[in-house]
Amino acid sequence: MENEVYDIIVVGAGHAGCEAALAAARLGMKAAVFTISLDAIANMPCNPSIGGTAKGHLVREIDALGGEMGRAADATFLQSRILNRGKGPAVHSLRVQSDRVKYHTYMKLALEKCGGLRIKQDEICRIITENGRVTGVETRLGMRYGAKAVIISSGTYLNGRIHVGGTSYPSGPDSVLPAAFLSDSLRESGVELRRFKTGTPARVHRRSINFDLLERQDGDEDITPFAFDNHEKLENKICCYIAYTNEETHRVIRENIHLSPMYSGQIEGVGPRYCPSIEDKIMRFADKPRHQLFIEPMGLDTEEYYLQGMSSSLPEWVQLKFLRTIKGLENVEIMRNAYAIEYDCCDPTQLLPTLEFKNIKGLYGAGQFNGTSGYEEAAAQGLIAGINAALSIKGEPPLILDRASSYIGTLIDDLVTKGCSDPYRIMTSRSEYRLLLRQDNADIRLTPYGHRVGLISDRRYQALLDKQARIEKEIERINKLNLSPSEQINEYLASKGSDPISSGTKLAQLLRRPHITYEGLAPFDPDRPVLDRQTAEQVELQIKYEGYIRIQKEQVEAMRKLESKALPADTDYSSIRGLRLEAAEKLDRIKPLSVGQASRISGVNPADVNVLLIWLAGGGKGRK
């Protein structure tokens, strides 16, 4: 039966699906989001936390573009910390422990209150295409819905299968039904699928934990929100704890490793490299005497605790046995056993940087369907897919963020250009421009893009312009201000291990010294204006790292010159003289949009790039 026709249909309502649906509807599209269970909207089947190393950067970028994840995290957090404070500002990353149920409730309500968005509980079984273009979907209940664009954000539900020891059965996360039929439809449409695997740890009862034997981990006193325009006073509500495995833990796991479906060959999917199961850690890092695990609450209204770092697919009795070898968990009670889950996902090199499939007009992929792991990576892709689907329908230019603009741009470029052989996780080391892509300046970098596409209000955009004006004015003042030597200022410098001054010195020069801060120099600067924390932070960082930032901007300029040299989509790379066979094959498969993108394809070397530049300079002859 043919039912309603939508501009955009989103398949799945996890973190990618929520962002995609909200972005599409907020940009004026008639949109619908389909989910197998309304109770699984924005579910956190893994750890109920948002952010972390590099992931916190993504969340602040999502907020700067007009997405919802940062606001949801601020509204439902239990504890907040900035990680890596002992390192440079490029790797400072905000992470919060969220209330799992409240996060779901917040995001479900956000979808329900979003004008122009329909929320439907049903399983999408088929993607309908005509002449290489998506035209709609078909549900398990036999309904057909027309659509100009469809976004697949199926998470780990797509042909999902749970593994616990020798037991295996079809399921999505948390015993929700899997998407059982969509994989076949996608293959019929020409989408290449692969099999990945991830895992989740056990949940245990609070009363069975001896917290007195655990290492306490408190949150930050001065809390930084994810949302840049959130000026509320935020407070931590709970404490988290750390425990450690030991040799006895490792012995129990090694003696029963043959019962793990990962080692018995039962699991075919490729697991995450950077978040392995505890049995994988024990076997791969046999020389390590212990491994950390983080004991964190699931919410304020539950006694469930989550054991981060202890995902496993071993039988439940083995899980219980090795957990009880850990100090503080000797009497632990498992409420939900750990499990591994296999699922289908696509090869992301089939996608354009817009996240639209190259061979199916109007079909987009987002989140774990694209081969990533993590809520934050999923939400970032969902936001971009939703924006680009809407812009395409409107006939407007797409939003393509390059590697120098954001971690979102880095993430998407890595996926569509290099692909991934295991679940992809964002890390600060993946960006060659990480000093420019700090979490503290995400609003400066990306709010103009959010305003251009229509997700950031004029009021919020003007607030950003006002902030930038304050930053520039204060930097100009500091660069001109001369401080005279005094006993007080030299005492301050000495307390920070810095040399005294004997003549007039620019305040900016002092600020560039290690351990000298903008706040620390305030007593010697009577004309200093009153600035909010975000503005003062930008002033200090832009002055302190001016030289390094200048070098990275020069690198960005060189990169963008190559990005500006477009490659025609119908190029026959096998006909270009001087191009190596391997390079021609890779270029024909990826179909890069520019020489810059071509240069990042595995198997394309600098000599191949020079051949492309010469070929373009000669008129680019050799088109299909």
Cβ pair 346, 159 in contact under 8 A: no
Q: Residue 624: is its pLDDT beyond 60?
A: no
pLDDT for the residue numbered 276: 83
Calpha distance 226→596 (Å, rounded) = 32
Share of the chain above pLDDT 90, in %: 93
Q: With contact defined as beta carbons under 8 Å apart, do 17 and 105 qualify?
A: no
- The 10s digit of each residue's pLDDT in 210-256 is 999 999 999 999 999 999 999 999 999 999 999 999 999 999 999 99
HEC string of 47-113? Answer: CCEEECCCHHHHHHHHHHHCCCHHHHHHHHEEEEEEECCCCCHHHCEEEEEECHHHHHHHHHHHHHC
Q: Is the pLDDT of residue 82 over 90?
A: yes
CA dist., res. 326 & res. 330, Å (int): 6
Crossing angle of helices 15-26 and 375-394, in 10° steps, is 30
Residues 6+ apart with CB under 8 A from 189: 127, 129, 360, 363
Check residue 590 and give its pLDDT: 93
Burial bucket for residue 141 (CB in 10 Å: 0-12, 13-18, 19+)? exposed
Cα distance from N-terminal residue to C-terminal residue, the chain: 41
Radius of gyration in angstroms for the set of CA atoms belonging to the chain, rounded to a whole number: 26
pLDDT bin (cut points 50, 70, 90) of residue 46 is: confident
**Structure confidence at residue 622 (pLDDT):** 65
Buried b (16+ CB within 10 A) or exposed e, 524-534: beeebeebeeb
Reply yes or no on whether the pLDDT at 494 is more than 70. Answer: yes
- Rounded to 5 degrees, φ, ψ at 344 are -90, 145
Residues 6+ apart with CB under 8 A from 140: 122, 123, 124, 125, 181
Q: In this predicted structure, what is the pLDDT of residue 1?
A: 58
Position 334 scores a pLDDT of 98
Greater confidence (621 vs 339) lies with 339
Residue 410 parent element (H or E): helix 407-413
Average pLDDT of span 260-269: 82
Q: Are 340 and 328 in contact (CB under 8 A)?
A: no
- For residue 462, which amino acid is it? Q
Q: Of 22 and 621, which is predicted with more confidence?
A: 22
Mean pLDDT for all residues in the chain: 95
pLDDT value at residue 78: 97
Residue 155 backbone class (left: φ over 0; alpha: ψ -120 to 50; beta: rest): left
| DSSP state letter for 600 | T
118-138 burial, b at 16+ Cβ within 10 Å, e below that, comes to bbbeebbbbbbbeeeebbbbb
Percent of the chain exceeding pLDDT 70 equals 99
Banded pLDDT at 47 (limits 50, 70, 90): confident
Alpha carbon distance 574, 572 (integer Å): 6
Cα distance between residue 593 and residue 562, in whole Å: 11
User: What average pLDDT does the segment 460-479 reach?
Assistant: 97
Q: What is the pLDDT of residue 239?
A: 94
Distant-in-sequence, close-in-space partners of 8: CB < 8 Å, separation ≥ 6: 20, 21, 24, 29, 30, 31, 32, 147, 148, 149, 150, 151, 386, 389, 390, 393
Largest CA distance in the chain: 85
User: Is 354 exposed, middle or buried (CB count within 10 Å of its CB: 0-12, 13-18, 19+)?
Assistant: buried
Dump pLDDT digits (tens) for 556-579: 999 999 999 999 989 999 999 999
Rounded distance between C-alpha atoms, residue 282 and residue 239, angstroms = 28
CA nearest to 313, candidates 249, 253, 391: 253
Query: Which domains does the chain show, CATH number per domain?
Result: 2-49+57-75+103-196+343-453 (3.50.50.60), 203-339 (2.40.30.260), 470-552 (1.10.10.1800), 564-617 (1.10.150.570)
User: What's the pLDDT at 2?
Assistant: 62
Q: How far is CA 155 from the centre of its chain?
A: 14
| 617: amino acid identity, one letter | A
351-361 per-position pLDDT tens digit: 999 999 999 99
CB 342 within 8 A of CB 348: no
